[in-house]
Chain A
Amino acid sequence: ILNVEQSPQSLHVQEGDSTNFTCSFPSSNFYALHWYRWETAKSPEALFVMTLNGDEKKKGRISATLNTKEGYSYLYIKGSQPEDSATYLCAFNGDDYKLSFGAGTTVTVRA
């Protein structure tokens, strides 16, 4: 079992504020790092697949960075809105085809 950790486990943010959280993963045998957003009672939705060290990806107000040498990725939410409330999962893909998931960071945006 590969060690993929997400921090913090949960956070509350005021509407309009920005926030970020981390995913740490093994720095060896890196192939890809996935981010998913999981809203309650819905299917997890893919946000990003990141493959290159130094990658930065953006989707609307959400962006992510990747550092494969030190084994971490940050996910940023700019100007949080209530609809951003969800659990954000990261998943590490090593030198096989399988995904190892972190436990998620649950974001609650307060109006």
Chain B
Amino acid sequence: GAVVSQHPSWVICKSGTSVKIECRSLDFQATTMFWYRQFPKQSLMLMATSNEGSKATYEQGVEKDKFLINHASLTLSTLTVTSAHPEDSSFYICTGGGLAGQETQYFGPGTRLLVL
């Protein structure tokens, strides 16, 4: 299957700092990527749809100014958590592979963020 990398896998930061997470499709082009967040014992929740060359589409309740998404190329989407606070501590994971529908999504390994 196709491979998606995600970096970093772990990050610990102080409250108020910004953290950038990269999601790369290594062997395919992804015009659309998805960003999810998972809190302990909960489901993966879609945060936003990242579209190459255009603005991301955010789910209800997700602050677009706090979670900045940039999809500048067909193989890279970045999620920046701006002015992170302890409540942003979570597991963030990206997928690529075309519009979800009936198409298989390929996942990155995820990034665990801890904000102190």
Which stretch in B11-19, B71-79, B81-89, B103-111 binds the other chain? B103-111
Contact of A43 among B34, B36, B102, B108 (CB under 8 A): B108
**A51 CA to B115 CA, complexed, in Å:** 40
**Would B43 and A43 count as touching, CB distance under 8 A?**
no
Q: Which residues of B contact A51 (CB under 8 A)?
A: 102
- Total A-B pairs in contact (CB under 8 Å)? 57
**A44 CA to B96 CA, complexed, in Å:** 12
Interface size bracket, B side? 20 to 34
Per the CB 8 Å criterion, the residue count for chain A at the interface is: 25
Within A35-69, the residues touching B (CB, 8 Å) are 36, 41-46, 49, 51
What sequence of 0s and 1s flags, for each residue 47-81 of chain B, a beta carbon within 8 Å of any chain A beta carbon?
00100000000000000000000000000000000
Q: How far is the CB of A62 from chain B (nearest CB, A)?
A: 15
**Would A93 and B102 count as touching, CB distance under 8 A?**
yes
- Give A residues with C-beta under 8 Å from B: 1, 4, 31-32, 34, 36, 41-46, 49, 51, 89, 91, 93, 97-104
